[in-house]
Amino acid sequence: MSQSYEPLESSEKVQAHLQEHIDLIARHEQEFLAQRTQSEKLGDRMASFIGSLTYVSLHVVIFVLWVGWNWLPSLRIYRFDPAPFPFLAVLLAFEAILVASFILMRQSRISRRSEERDQLMLQMLLLSERELTALLGMERQMAHRMGLHGIAADQEITQLSQQTSIDELAQGLKETLPSE
């Protein structure tokens, strides 16, 4: 008589569980984006535009027209910025300041969000470490009660089932990793 086993979780349940996580992450991202100030939203839009092919193409067209207008002999009387184009240089310098500012503002916001994610990840990892340590301790006790003394006394399992001191780990990393 063969016995069939049902999978612990059906494919639909696994998919639903994964979708819950995806939805949660998406909600957190949407909340973060919604909390931006008007200036941050403007800065993000500007930085996105600056990083586009449209921006590059627009600049190429403007430069070609500017240089052509101010250099072609047939348009000599309409020149407003003769070579070496000092007015264009001033405009480009001003634009470079603005572009750098928009990009730095966006990078600062992205960095702030990354730090928030890192803190969340650290909290999740610390919680996971505590849970796994507790599970290993329970499994060692179960193995001991079941008479599996070799497994219960295994050196590596015993070591892994002990609490990890985060402070000692951090200090060890500071001492081991090269400083700047």
- How far is residue 83's CA from residue 91's CA, in Å, rounded to a whole number? 15
Least Cα distance to 140 among 123, 160, 124 occurs for 160
Q: Which residues contact 133 (CB under 8 A, 6 or more apart)?
A: 160, 161, 162, 163, 164
Condensed to tens digits (0 to 9), the pLDDT of residues 51-86 reads 999 999 999 999 999 988 888 877 777 888 888 899
Q: Kindly state whether residue 96 falls inside one of the protein's structural domains.
A: yes
Q: Kindly state whether residue 26 falls inside one of the protein's structural domains.
A: no
Q: Kindly state whether residue 11 falls inside one of the protein's structural domains.
A: no
* Number of independent structural domains in the chain: 1
Residue 2, pLDDT > 60, answer no
Q: Kindly state whether residue 17 falls inside one of the protein's structural domains.
A: no
Q: Kindly state whether residue 20 falls inside one of the protein's structural domains.
A: no
Residue 43, pLDDT > 90, answer no
Q: Kindly state whether residue 179 falls inside one of the protein's structural domains.
A: no
Range of the domain at 54: 37-167
Q: Kindly state whether residue 22 falls inside one of the protein's structural domains.
A: no
How confident is residue 95, by pLDDT bands cut at 50, 70 and 90?
very high
DSSP label at 164? P
How confident is residue 90, by pLDDT bands cut at 50, 70 and 90?
very high
Contact between residue 37 and residue 45 where contact means Cβ atoms under 8 Å apart: no
Q: What is the pLDDT of residue 170?
A: 82
Quote the pTM value. 0.61
Q: What is the pLDDT of residue 7?
A: 54
How far is C-alpha 178 from the geometric centre of its chain's CA atoms? 25
Q: Kindly state whether residue 129 falls inside one of the protein's structural domains.
A: yes
Condensed to tens digits (0 to 9), the pLDDT of residues 101-129 reads 989 988 988 898 899 889 989 898 988 98
Tell me if residue 5 falls in helix, strand or coil. coil
